[in-house]
Amino acid sequence: MFSGWNWVAYGLYLLLNFCSLEVSGGLVQSCGHIIPESPVLALGSNFTALCILNESCLDFGNIYANQIIWKIKNKVVPKEQYREINRTVSSVTFNDTSSLATPLTCNILADGQIEQNIYGIAVTIGLPPEKPKNLSCIVHQVLKLTYPMTCTWNPGRHTFLDTHFRLKYRWPQENFPDCIPKDVNNSCTIPDVQFFVNLEVWVEAANALGKAESDPLVLDPIEIVKPLPPHNLSVNSGILPTVLKISWDNRISGSVMKLKFNIRYRTIGDTNWMQVPPEDTASPRTSFSVQGLRPYTEYVFSIRCMKEDGVGYWSDWSEEKTGVTTEDKPSKGPPIWRIIDASRSPAFWTVRLMWKALEPFEANGIILQYEVTVRAKSSLSSPPEKYNVNTTNLILKLPNGTYEVTLIAHNSVGASPPSVLLIPATNSKAPVKNVRTLPKDGKLWVGWTAPNSYVLKYVIEWCLVSNSSDCIIEWQNEPGNVQGTYLKGDIKPFKCYLITVYSLYADGQGSGQSVKAYLQQDRPSKGPTVQTKKVGKAEAVLTWNHLTVDEQNGFIRSYTIFYKTVDGNETAVTVDPSKTEYTLSSLTSDTLYTVRMMAYTDEGGRSGPDFTFTTQKFGKGEIEAIVVPVCLAFLLIVLLGVLFCFNKRDLIKKHIWPIVPDPSKSNIAQWSPQVPAKATSISFFQHNFSSKDQMYPEGSFTDVSVVEIEADDKKSFSEQDLKPFDLLKKEKSTSEGHSSGIGGSSCMSSPRQSVSDSDEGETTQNTSSTVQYSTVVLNGYRDQTPVQVFSRSESTQPLLDSEERSEDHSGGGDSTSQRQQYFKQNGGQDETNTDRPCFERTKQITPTNEGDLVGFAQLQISDQSSQLLGLGLEKNTQEAALPDVLQTSIEGQTVRPETVEGNPPSADEMPKSYLPQTVRQGGYMPQ
């Protein structure tokens, strides 16, 4: 058994033997080789290769043929294709060489499973050459006496191998060196050949797989000559305006070859050549006169030649040469048309005559001037008017009528035939019908239906319609036997053209029939801008302007309105293209809508800008339907209220403005008791009416007593007599509360102290502006419950119709002075009174003592009471007793209070007083 190191040493030994170098001329000797060496194989053929091992390698390394592995480009060949011939030879077979690739290698698997390359070869696969075909030769004239011959052929298929071609030629009894092509494989040039001797020519092709030859070609080189074209070409004008003479020189000797010629010519700017008939130039020559040319036209000429009998090749065309024919008189009159403007005055026309300049082939020279003759058909006796102009238009002012216009063009040779235009007073003849257009081959074709009458010619008039420029009229004449033609002007795409066709007769013309057309349409440049004309609750009137002609780019076939809400689906409405207004209906009230509009031509549409609007919350008439009835109802209510107030004005006045007694008109103002300085008696007056039931209705009082007591004489009364006054003093706080409660000023709240407030005899202050009055009430004021029977108040409002005298303020402290009357008497008496303390007493009335009714100092009776006590007393037959009482009071007599007649209610049963008014300084304010 070998150890591990022994196996390593043995492997290194084998490697050294396989790669052992026996230096012999610097080459490495291999252990084997492959037969054949670098083969060239035909594509698709069978191929077998042999790998032969050297004997030295067999003896030393134990390597045998069964260990050989074949590979193609490092790809192992299947072992089914191997064959072991002996222990040193192994073969591989390929049935189709198309699968072969280079290199093909022979490898061996030595001990230790180490694969080693023994040998490799390069395999070339290709095809043998095909027989060359289509051999032809031509002799090119290079110089006058130099004629090289060039032969060409078809080399056949590609062989994938290096294939060599040779052009072989010979005379019948002499061979010439082969002609080897340079850089090409399908042609070769022989430097010089001899004419009039037959020459045999063929081609040979060869490569590693074989050879091939073409069919031989036998020819005389003179039969395949391509001569040089004539030179020194010249063109001269002849005597006639339609003839030009051409001259040239030939480059081949007539002794060598007789020639025939081809002459071609064209006008300047034209690409189409015209040719002189070949039979006119089929003989040798050096010049030729070309006839039938146009006068005063520039032509281009060229010429070529070949062997006279037609055997051989045509030469190239010669250089071009130009010439101009002479002038001739114009061949036709200029086309003429007119534009009539009768807008300024129907009786006179502004006629613009215009004509087209003649084409060069029609003018036959330079047009020097135009002669225009205008003859009125209605007046044959009047001479015609003639105008000579250099331009192509003339403006005339003519009376309305029928005219015949004749136009003649003049050049240096003569005048053209006249062009006649009839201008009728009216277009009364039959017009054309069914004018139509059709874009075709980049041109605009116009067709029409001819009228039944014979038409002399047609005039097609057109202009470009644009908002940025005027309609410049172009026109053309067409014969009367045609019913369609292409417009000959510069027609642009995406532009609108107004086309009018007139039919012209010998004695008049028909009215023009117009149509608009586009050579090519496109989408509009912009979309319509939509706006709202009127917005309602459920509808909106949209309006827009038509796109201008420059913006349309085609015929507007329809409008489409798209509208939607903020979160709704878009709705589309198609509108007729002639409309500029549309009403959207079934909209939602008080909703924001977005609307846009698209205009469509035959090539598509384009959208305009978005526009938003909001529908109204109320529809038309809804607000009026609500407001008008409400206003009418309100007016009706107001009217009824006014009528009611007018009918109930007294009742309303009574409740809103109650009648307040005027102190100056009170009966109490007619008396003022005179109180002595130290009076110890009580003045009192009492008056009993004879008919109490008549004067004092139920709920009223019967008698009133007024009592004035001197403050210092209080002690002279008994306690029983002063009880009512004590009660009155106790009620002072209650009276003040009631007075202050309504904001009024009562006598008890006056800053002056009354007798009942203090036992001290103080001199009273001057209160000449004070009016004291009292109202005796039993019923409540305005249906309210009174708080007490008697109400007292002290007003500071000046008395009406009364004046204060200065002496009222003098001697206010003298208790012995006479008290003056407070109020101005109705009879005009002016009495003054010194300040006196305001105190009031009320006698408590009890059921058991109905005579204890105490009067109070000043008493003003309410409006009703005043009438009962004052006015009633004056009118009563018994009112005479009242002055006596007043007089007694003035004289200072003391009167005992009398009991009030009747049964007055007790204090508990009597309602409490209510102060209805307050009088303040400076005015009288009802409360």
Q: 182-221, pLDDT tens digit by residue? A: 888 899 999 888 888 889 999 999 998 889 999 999 999 9
Neighbouring-strand partners of residue 24 = 27
The backbone region for 445, taken as left when phi is positive above 0, alpha when psi lies in -120 to 50, beta otherwise, is: beta
Q: Give the mean pLDDT of the chain.
A: 74
**Mean pLDDT score, 338-357:** 87
Query: Per mean pLDDT, which of 145-149, 483-487, 683-687 is the most reliable?
Result: 483-487
Pairing, β 443-449 against β 484-486: antiparallel
As a whole number of angstroms, the longest Cα–Cα distance in the chain is 209
Amino acid at 106: C
CB neighbourhood size of 408 (10 A): 18
Of 481 and 693, the one with more pLDDT? 481
Neighbouring-strand partners of residue 438 = 445
Q: How confident is the model at residue 12 (pLDDT cuts 50, 70, 90)?
A: very low
pLDDT at 716: 47
Report the helix count and the strand count for the chain, using DSSP H and E.
Answer: 11, 53
Cα torsion for 818, 824, 830, 834, to the nearest 10°? 30
**Burial, 1: exposed, middle or buried (Cβ in 10 Å; 0-12, 13-18, 19+)?**
exposed
pLDDT at 579 over 50: yes
Residue 147's nearest CA partner among 252, 303, 258 is 252
Q: How confident is the model at residue 515 (pLDDT cuts 50, 70, 90)?
A: very high
The backbone region for 848, taken as left when phi is positive above 0, alpha when psi lies in -120 to 50, beta otherwise, is: alpha
Annotate 703-716 with DSSP letters as a single string: -----B--GGGGGG
pLDDT at 910 over 50: no
pLDDT at 581 over 80: yes
Distance CA 566, CA 588 (A): 12
pLDDT at 782 over 90: no
Distance CA 494, CA 499 (A): 15
DSSP 578: T
Check: CB of residue 792 under 8 Å from CB of residue 756. no
Distance CA 262, CA 310 (A): 12
pLDDT at 808 over 60: no
Check: CB of residue 311 under 8 Å from CB of residue 317. no
Q: What percentage of the chain's residues is helix, strand, coil (to nearest 5)?
A: 15, 35, 50
**Mean pLDDT score, 763-767:** 38
Residue 40's nearest CA partner among 128, 124, 161, 127 is 124
Q: Give me the residue label for tokens 């007619």.
A: 670
Amino acid at 510: G
**Mean pLDDT score, 526-546:** 93
DSSP 912: B
CB neighbourhood size of 57 (10 A): 21
Check: CB of residue 780 under 8 Å from CB of residue 916. no
pTM of full prediction above 0.85? no
Q: What are phi and psi of 629, to 5 degrees?
A: -60, -40
pLDDT at 690 over 90: no
Query: Per mean pLDDT, which of 449-458, 788-797, 808-817, 837-846 is the most reliable?
Result: 449-458
∠ Cα 871 874 879 (to 5°):
135
Amino acid at 43: L
The 3 state secondary structure assigned to 456-475 is CEEEEEEEEECCCCCCCEEE
pLDDT at 345: 76
pLDDT at 61: 61
Distance CA 261, CA 304 (A): 6
Residue 72's nearest CA partner among 90, 98, 53 is 98
Of 883 and 570, the one with more pLDDT? 570
Which residues make Cβ contacts (< 8 Å) with residue 413, sequence separation at least 6?
Answer: 327, 328, 329, 364, 365
Q: Which two tokens stand for residue 910?
A: 């009597």
Q: What are phi and psi of 696, to 5 degrees?
A: -125, 100
H or E element: which one contains 864? helix 863-866
**Burial, 64: exposed, middle or buried (Cβ in 10 Å; 0-12, 13-18, 19+)?**
middle
Annotate 652-715 with DSSP letters as a single string: HHHHHS-----GGG-GGGG------TT--S-B------S-HHHHS-TTS-S-----B--GGGGG
- What is the chain's alpha carbon radius of gyration, rounded to the nearest angstrom? 75
Which of 232-241, 565-574, 618-627 has the weakest average pLDDT?
618-627
pLDDT at 623: 80
| Distance from the first to the final alpha carbon of the chain | 153
